[in-house]
Chains A and B, each alone.
Chain A
């Protein structure tokens, strides 16, 4: 099985508790890691994923209590798509009505049924009915029945002025291939099971986006290990004239970052060591985990973090 594809998507949200209530509650994702933003340890960093916290299933958030809403524009992520069994779309539409989630009527996109909706911060999301997804195990730890549970990320759509330079990086560095065109959308895919789709939406000159609540902060692509990441960094430099940051240890993966030509912040993240590196796989996401350099400050950090049990969070 290829390791080419998305590793995770990271977005900015409003209050922490509301974020958990929506993603672990309404959407029934597994909260697989509760840690802090390493660059701002007084704020949380939440990771949601599937039962195995597999690369390609991970959606992460920086919850900022006082965030101003973002505004969609070119050079950013237009939407983030999840995989669900085809037969569950009706269940989800019903659930969205019941839970007061803003959503649209299902439409066909690239031959699949897509149910678009937004989270409490206005983040643009969609469920895509994927043939065969019902055969994959679903997370049973929420009140969404396992047969309807989300099966990882499908992928993302990027809103760009000109898709060519971004497409060149997807195909040359990250192992994607153009698989379909529909209107102004071009679909690129790998043969990974999860997070294998990037849709590029070229719109020419259009307003630039403004990052804020509901905006995707960055998109991470998978590398099997440090050597594979290093090879991608080399390719970016030699074929595309792009330099990345130095490697940063994010505890659960090791990352480099770069701004792709269309303006979106891209990351390359290693599959290793994964989310079970600092807590057992069966109890992922239950305790607040800190990187070793912040462990001495734990009491202080815990006193500053928003209270997840009250509306103040």
Chain B
């Protein structure tokens, strides 16, 4: 068991260090980009542009530092989360996203999270789903043991897991999918033949899923 030394990078309640790129054309849902452990606010910008050209992009930096590596919440060991901190951080991030959305006049965002970023995105769906219209969860795990607080009807979620991922157990990702589905979300869970890292395969599935969602929206109108 490694000892994960965690320090606050910034006091709770303070704004997140972040990057914001306004939309360059109307239509696509804004994306909330959430990096993995050791990443920062720049990591997923290119991914965001590729997934949804022209969409507004909001990319915060996780405030928790583990051996100097930014994360979105504290953990006690790999796969063992500090649930108290997960709740607090998910709420804090949701407050920040809501504030930016109000200031920039954004529609509810689609979270795109990788690894630790996917876990905090999942935690936001459990606790504060009103700021999100959906989520793409890349290599996510179950973030909290309690059931989601709110009804997730109308929220679209894509979970992409790696068949050869040494970090995320297959049954854990399956349990996350089942939990979100039971809470009313429209969940698609795909397993890609790769490890924990992001691949072109993930990109293809994520892009197709975003495209399908955009078409549904048009049909509704």
Contact = CB atoms under 8 A, between A and B. Distances in A.
Contact of B204 (A41, A62, A66): A66
Given A300-B163, A300-B193, A304-B193, A43 B50 contact: no
From A40, A66, A67, residue with most partner B Cβ within 10 Å: A40
Contacts of B50: 66, 68
A37 B207 CA distance: 20
B7 interface: no
B193 A66 contact: no
B130 to A, nearest CB: 31
Contacts of B202: 42
A38 B200 CA distance: 12
B201 interface: yes
Contacts of A62: 200
Q: Interface majority SS on A: helix, strand, loop or mixed?
A: mixed
Interface in A252-302: 294, 297, 300-301
B170 interface: no
From A37, A41, A67, residue with most partner B Cβ within 10 Å: A41
From B163, B193, B199, B201, residue with most partner A Cβ within 10 Å: B193
Contact of A43 (B191, B197, B201, B207): B201
A23 interface: no
A93 interface: no
Interface string B172-216: 000000000000000000011110010111111001000000000
B200 A304 contact: no
A304 B201 contact: yes
Given A40-B199, A66-B50, A294 B193 contact: yes
Interface in B107-163: 163
A46 to B, nearest CB: 14
A297 B199 CA distance: 16
A40 B201 contact: yes
B200 A65 contact: yes
A64 interface: yes
B21 to A, nearest CB: 16
Interface string B10-37: 0000000000000000000000000000
Given A66-B50, A68-B50, A297-B163, A42 B191 contact: no
A297 B207 CA distance: 24
Nearest to A300: B193
A42 B207 contact: no
Contacts of B197: 39
B73 to A, nearest CB: 29
Contacts of B191: 300
Of all A-B residue pairs in the complex, the 7 with the closest CB atoms, nearest first, are A42-B201, A40-B199, A41-B193, A64-B200, A301-B193, A43-B200, A297-B193
9 contacts: A37-B200, A39-B194, A39-B197, A42-B201, A42-B202, A43-B200, A64-B203, A300-B193, A306-B204
Interface of B: 50, 163-164, 191-194, 197, 199-204, 207
